[in-house]
Amino acid sequence: MMRELVTLPNVLAGILALSLNAYVVMGGADYGGGVWDLLASGRRRREQRALVADAIGPIWEANHVWLILVVVLVFTCFPPAFARLAIVLHVPLTLMLIGVVLRGSAFTFRTYDSQRDAVQHRWGTTFAIASTVTPVLLGVCVGAVASGAVGAADLGRGFRAALVAPWLTPFALAVGLFTLVLFAFLAAVYLTLEAADDALRDDFRARALWSGAAAVVVGGIVLLLAGAGAPRLLAGLTGGWWGTLLHGATAAAAAAAMLALWTRRYALARAAAIVELSCILWGWVWAQFPYLLPPTLTIADAAAPAVTLRLTLIGVAAGFVLLVPSLWYLFHIFKGEGNAFRSVDEH
C-alpha cells in the first residue's frame, strides 16, 4: 500500500499541495489584511489601516513565491491538468491575476505617495477591493475543481457551457466566500500579535472572534451545498477513518483558536488558526485523491514523463535549500523579537 502511494507523481503532487498550504497560511493573511483595511471603522480606523500596512509591508510580495511554485509545478509536472485549468477556468483565473496585480500596485503606490489624502484614499480603496475579490476568485476555482465540473467540462459545447457554467455555481461561489472569510479570520488573528497597544489588539480580537464564527457558518453552508454540487467530495470528506480524523482535527483547532482568542492567548490562537486552515485544505486534497481533476484525470494520468518529474524534483529540492533559509531570515528580521514591525508584547 505504501509503495503504491509513494510514487514520483504522488510526491510532486504532495509538494504541490504543501506549496498551496504555505500560500494559504502566509499569503492568505495578506489578503485578509486587505479585507480589514476595507472594513476599518471607529475612532481608530486610521491606526487599523496603518497596522495592516506595517504588518504585511515587509513580507507580502515574498509570500507569492508559493503561488508561483504551484503554477510552475502544475505546468511542468501535470501539463494536461494545466491545459484544462487554463481553458475551463480562464475567466476567474484571469480576473484573479488582475486582482493580484492591482492589489500589489495599489499597495505600492499608496505607500510611496503618502502626502496627498485623495490619492491615498483612491489607492487604498483599490488595494482593499482587490484584496477582497481575489481570494473569492481563488476559492471559486478550488470549488470548481473539487466539484468535478472542470474535469468533466465538455469544451465543444460553447463558451457558456464550457467556460462559465463549470465555475459559476452555488457550490463554487460558496467556497469562494468561505475562502474570503477564512483569510479574514487568519489575518485578524495574526494582527492581534502585530498590534502595539491594547486598544488595537482588542479591535482585531473582536474581528477574529466574529469572523471565526462566520467561518463555521459558511463552512456549514459549503457542506450542505456539496450534497448537490460536489457529491464525490462530500463522500470523500465524510467517509472513512481519515475523513473523520480530519474533521475532528479541524473542529478541535477551530475551538482552540476561539478559546485562545477569548482568553487572550494570541500566540496559541495563531497556531490553532494555521492548523485549522491546513486541515481544511488537506481534507479537500484527501477527499479527491487520487484525482487531480476529478472525475476524469488522476495524478498518474496527468503526470509528465518520468525524466521530467525527476529533474523537477531535483530542482525543487535545490531551490528549497535557498528558499527556506531565505524566508526564515526575512521573517526573522521583520517579524522576530524586538524589530520595528512587531508589537512590544503579544500578551
Question: What's the pTM value of the predicted model, to 2 decimals?
Answer: 0.90
pLDDT per position as a tens digit, 213-232: 999 999 999 999 998 898 98
Question: Helices 117-147 and 266-288 meet at what angle, rounded to 10?
Answer: 40
Tell me, yes or no, whether 347 lies in a domain.
Answer: no
**73 within domain boundaries:** yes
Between 104 and 115, the more confident residue is 104
pLDDT in tens, 297-329: 999 999 999 999 999 999 999 988 988 888 888
Average pLDDT across the chain, whole number: 87
Of the pLDDT bands very low, low, confident and very high (cuts 50, 70, 90), residue 115 is low
343, part of any domain? no
Question: 97-111, 126-140, 168-182, 202-216 — which is least confidently predicted?
Answer: 97-111
Q: Report d(CA 226, CA 46) in Å as an integer.
A: 40
Is there a domain that residue 117 lies in? yes
59 is written with which cell numbers? 513580507
- Separation of alpha carbons 26 and 278, rounded Å: 11
Residue 323 counted as domain residue: yes
In a domain, 265, yes or no: yes
| Distances in whole angstroms, Cα of residue 25 to Cα of each of 89, 183, 185, 282, 308 | 23, 8, 11, 13, 29
Higher pLDDT, 152 or 21: 21
CA gap 69, 15 in Å, rounded: 9
Note whether residue 35 is domain-resident: yes
Q: Using alpha carbons only, what angle is made at residue 31 by residues 325 and 54, rounded to the nearest 5 degrees?
A: 65
Kindly report, residue by residue over 257-297, the tens digit of the pLDDT: 999 999 999 999 999 999 999 999 998 998 898 999 999 89
What percent of the chain stands above pLDDT 70?
Answer: 92
The count of domains in the chain is 1
Any domain includes 89? yes
Q: Is the pLDDT of residue 117 over 70?
A: no
- Residue 252's pLDDT band (cuts 50, 70, 90): very high
Split at pLDDT 50, 70, 90, the class of 22 is very high
pLDDT band at 103 (very low <50, low <70, confident <90, very high): confident
Share of residues in the chain with pLDDT > 90 (%) = 54
**Which of residues 104 and 144 earns the better pLDDT score?**
144
* Least confident stretch, 18-27, 118-127, 143-152, 229-238: 118-127
Q: Tell me the pLDDT band of 343, cut-offs 50, 70 and 90.
A: very low
| pLDDT given at position 120 | 73
- Note down the domain range covering 197: 2-335
